[in-house]
Amino acid sequence: MFFSSRRATRFSRYLIASIFILWNNVIFAHGLPEFTGMVEENRSSIVNISTIQKVSTESRLPPGFEMPEGSPWGELFKRFNGEEGESEPQQRDATSLGSGFVLSEDGYIMTNHHVVKGAEEIIVRFHDRREFKAELIGSDPRSDIAVLKIDADDLPEVKLGKSGETKVGEWVMAIGSPFGFEHSVSVGIVSAINRSLPNETYVPFIQTDVAINPGNSGGPLFNMEGEVIGVNAQIYSQTGGFMGLSFAIPMDIALEVAEQLKDSGHVSRGWLGVYIQNVDRGLAESFGLKNPKGALVSKVFEDSPASKGGLEQGDVIIKYNDKDITYSSDLPPAVGRTKVGSKAKLTVIRKGDTITKYVTIEALPESDQLSKKPADKHYKDSSLGLSIAPVPDEMGKELNLVGGVLVTRISGGPAKRAGLKRGDVILRLNGTRIQGIFQFRKLVKGLPKGRAASIYVHRQSDQPPIYLALKIPE
């Protein structure tokens, strides 16, 4: 019996589809990782952490509500709530939940700083229901790492791995207490490494798609060897719940912090003494760079390691101790991990030339800094779409500024596209120091059209000075 050509074609398609389905079943049956053994081996090393904090409360009104001064409802409200006379500040207990893991068999526990911040009492609970009161050995807000100690011996410690060997795409597993559900397991892959987050300067995070939720903080991130390569710390979410982006502190960094906390109770970091920013395409063009890369120095602190080592505002750091600096966020973790007192080698591009500088790294000081309101009078420069004014004397003295013009209004155009804001003080245009409004306008008229020019700006609202790329349309 012979098939017709049409039936033969259908049969061949059916055969190919069947083989494809069978092949996929084989791959999924034998190719996906197995986590049950890892969970069984490590769950006794994972702990649930609960804390008790004393929170001051001034009134019994719902959050966000206030009783107006002299309100006729004030006395009625006091009687209704049983209050007599003036309301006294009251203390109430607030609790928080998190996770952690056994760092060593003699009772050291690692977790996040934000899990135990402000805690008056810390309770550590194991899988077998044992509970211990924990002592806070040390806590570091910059890395979000804390070390606890409980009075116990022969604890099942985790196996530590090298986070520096982590690769994008590898499988990872988390164990923690999301929403208080103890010893919950979630798995996924590493979706990025060395990820920089806003306001998190010293940690190059491991990014994963492992489901992490409130309560997972401080728990371990395992690789497929059963080694802890990270400490789960943050999620990216617009709802407060998991949305596919989770971030873990690399174990290499967490261990360095933990050792310092155990030794001295605090963490010492290296300090260069500069403000830096990313180099975009426009700035790369204005500084004579072929590609946008490196950390652009927008300010050098007086009497800092950078100033002593000869770094200047406008330098672009492209290497630190032979480590490539592709993004500005690559520099702070490298500097922070440098031993205080040691020399660092920096490769810098300055006015198109590549030079080498050697800087003796100092300890990172406690930080704080600046700002002031702009003046009212202004001069309108319609070619840029902004209004400017002289820098008030008080502001100049307060911020230690020499020259410059104050941006009092942005109406659009090149200034807005460049990212200038009301309150900025423009100090340099294309490398030339600005002495006043007349000189600024003269320099603007001489700018080439269709080509980016650099503007050096002292930014208000507690932000560091930055460079912006200004381009006059052709």
Pick the catalytic residue: 114, 196, 371, 383? 114
Residue 338: which residues within 8 A CB-CB, separation 6 or more? 270, 321, 344, 361
Whole-number Å distance between alpha carbons of 245 and 38: 23
Q: How far is CA 448 from CA 39, 444, 473, 474, in A?
A: 64, 9, 9, 9
For the chain, the farthest-separated pair of C-alpha atoms sits apart, in whole angstroms, at 104
Task: Evaluate whether 408 touches 378 at the Cβ level (below 8 Å).
Answer: yes
Pick the catalytic residue: 163, 184, 217, 329? 217
Residue 469 CB neighbours (<10 A): 20
Pick the catalytic residue: 113, 139, 144, 328? 144
Task: Evaluate whether 143 touches 115 at the Cβ level (below 8 Å).
Answer: no
Residue 129: which residues within 8 A CB-CB, separation 6 or more? none
User: Which residues face 424 on adjacent strands?
Assistant: none
Q: Which residue in 124, 144, 207, 213 sits closest to 177, CA to CA?
A: 213
Active site residue 144: yes
Task: Evaluate whether 197 touches 205 at the Cβ level (below 8 Å).
Answer: yes
Task: Evaluate whether 177 touches 48 at the Cβ level (below 8 Å).
Answer: yes
Pairing of strands 159-160, 227-235: parallel
Residue 41: which residues within 8 A CB-CB, separation 6 or more? 226
* Residue 65 per-residue DSSP state: -
Whole-number Å distance between alpha carbons of 293 and 266: 34
Residue 12 CB neighbours (<10 A): 11
Residue 189 CB neighbours (<10 A): 13
Residue 6: which residues within 8 A CB-CB, separation 6 or more? none
DSSP assignment of 136-198: EEEEETTTTEEEEE-S-SS--PPEE--GGG--TT-EEEEEE-GGG-TTEEEEEEEEEEEEEET
In terms of Cβ atoms closer than 10 Å to its own Cβ (0-12, 13-18, 19+), residue 55 is exposed
Residue 459: which residues within 8 A CB-CB, separation 6 or more? 421, 423, 424, 465, 466
Residues forming the active site: 114, 144, 217
